[in-house]
Amino acid sequence: MLRVGLTGGIGSGKSTVSALLGEHGAVVIDYDILAREVVEPGSPVIAAIAARFGADMIASDGSLDRTALGALVFAEPSALLALNAITHPAIGELATARERVADPGAIVVHDNPLLVEMGLAAHCDVVIVVDVPEAVQVNRLMVSRGMSEDDARARIATQASRQERTGAADLLIDNTGPLDELSPIVGGIWDELVSRSAEAGG
């Protein structure tokens, strides 16, 4: 198994790259999905969130009130750290369980916006970073997710810096260009992963 870490700042195009790698045959573990799974109603994680941040973080149907929690943690760095301390270990356990059921010869992509922040880069055989300048991130978040410029910059500020992230990269994807240039770049990256996987003995 080749364990690949894929990361990128919010709006960099990481999810787009992840989907392309999936089309090539990678087994993709999407940490955004895992992050939702760990807070399902009745889960130990949602109970811990209510204990730490208050019962009003939980909606009447038992689901997480993401808007309330988001407003709290993105305004207060120490609250975000506390939330991460609750959720990250549970997310890590789920990811390990997913990896365990993958084919031994698989190329497994850990698609994780916080790969560097969670200290998981060192656990990967190959780290791919999708990189764009901050101005491009902001612009894409405004266009694709309807964020205000201030919101986009605030979200970016909660993540590792561009330099910290690219410093962890074995393979860097520059996604500053137009979307139609991305597919051939990812094709080349896939060929590289296949050859590294073969070198590592499949």
Binding site for ligand ADP (CB under 6 A): 8, 10-16, 140, 144, 175, 177-179, 182
* Residues recorded for the chain: 202
CB-nearer residue toward ligand ADP: 60 or 144: 144
CB-nearer residue toward ligand ADP: 178 or 184: 178
The 10 Å CB-count burial string (b at 16+, else e) for 8-20 is: bbbbbbbbbbbeb
Cβ at position 43, least distance to ligand ADP in Å:
25
Cβ at position 55, least distance to ligand ADP in Å:
31
Q: How far apart are CA 103 and CA 122, in angstroms?
A: 22
Cβ at position 199, least distance to ligand ADP in Å:
29
* 3-state SS class at 126: strand
CB-nearer residue toward ligand ADP: 16 or 84: 16
CB-nearer residue toward ligand ADP: 83 or 152: 152
Query: Which H or E run contains 161?
Result: none
Give the tokens for residue 111.
């698609």
Cβ at position 7, least distance to ligand ADP in Å:
9
Q: How far apart are CA 68 and CA 156, in angstroms?
A: 19
126-131 and 107-111 beta bridge pairing: unpaired
Residue 75 backbone dihedrals phi, psi, to 5 degrees: -95, -15
CB-nearer residue toward ligand ADP: 19 or 82: 19
Cβ at position 95, least distance to ligand ADP in Å:
17
171-174 and 126-131 beta bridge pairing: parallel
